[in-house]
Amino acid sequence: MLKITILLLGLFWCLGLWIEGREAAKSRATLRHVVHVNGTRGKSTVCRLIEAGLRAGGLRVFCKTTGTDPMTIDVSGNEEPLRRRGKANIKEQVGILRRVVVLLDVNKEPEEMVELVNPEVIEQKGSERVVEGCLSVPGVYGYVTRPTWAKIRAQDRFGNWFEREGEGIVAQCFCHETEHLDGHLFTEKVEEYIDPEAMQGGDEE
């Protein structure tokens, strides 16, 4: 009898999740425009800035932030904290239809900000062992192997597809950031970790 009760409770729970997901999808379909903000740090701040700007322009805006303290901001500007099941996780970004990253191409003269929507590394050549770090894991550094040259395919903000090549640190950024959008951190590729203090000491010498 206990097993049957547990099974029924599980079925009702799954049914409730399915109904909730369907209703959420129906509600979302009524929205004329949806803006996704992706990245490793500062997403909530960017969301708030966009929300404030659109609201100041007279538009009705509903905003949802993620991160450590997720919350919603309704069309009246009221904030409501969200209860999270578990800790914040970069994999919340997986499955977003518009995956966006902005990086600085230091190989250009002058340096150029590059907007990449739905980027994908389609070709790479060479390899080099480089030191990487990430704001998602502050204070952690390590050696990883990256290509010396890479080609990326992406869309611009208007949906037009283009390809772009990069060498050295730009190729490294292409790979690092696109992996982020797929829910991966550089720590999955670390071959040898580095003591930050020892590294700083080496730089000073």
* Residues taking part in catalysis: 177
Q: How far apart are CA 179 and CA 156, in angstroms?
A: 19
Token pair of 189, please?
């590729």
Sheet holding 192-194, edge to edge: 128-133, 141-146, 192-194
Closest CA to 171 of 150, 194, 142: 150
The strand pair at 100-105 and 112-125 is best described as: antiparallel
Residue corresponding to tokens 């969301």: 47
Beta bridge partners of 149: 125, 167
Type of residue at 44:
S
> Could you tell me which residues come within 8 angstroms of residue 166 by beta carbon, excluding any fewer than 6 positions away?
105, 107, 149, 150, 151, 152, 173, 174
Maximum Cα interatomic distance, the chain, rounded to a whole number of Å: 74
Cβ–Cβ under 8 Å, residues 43 and 105: no
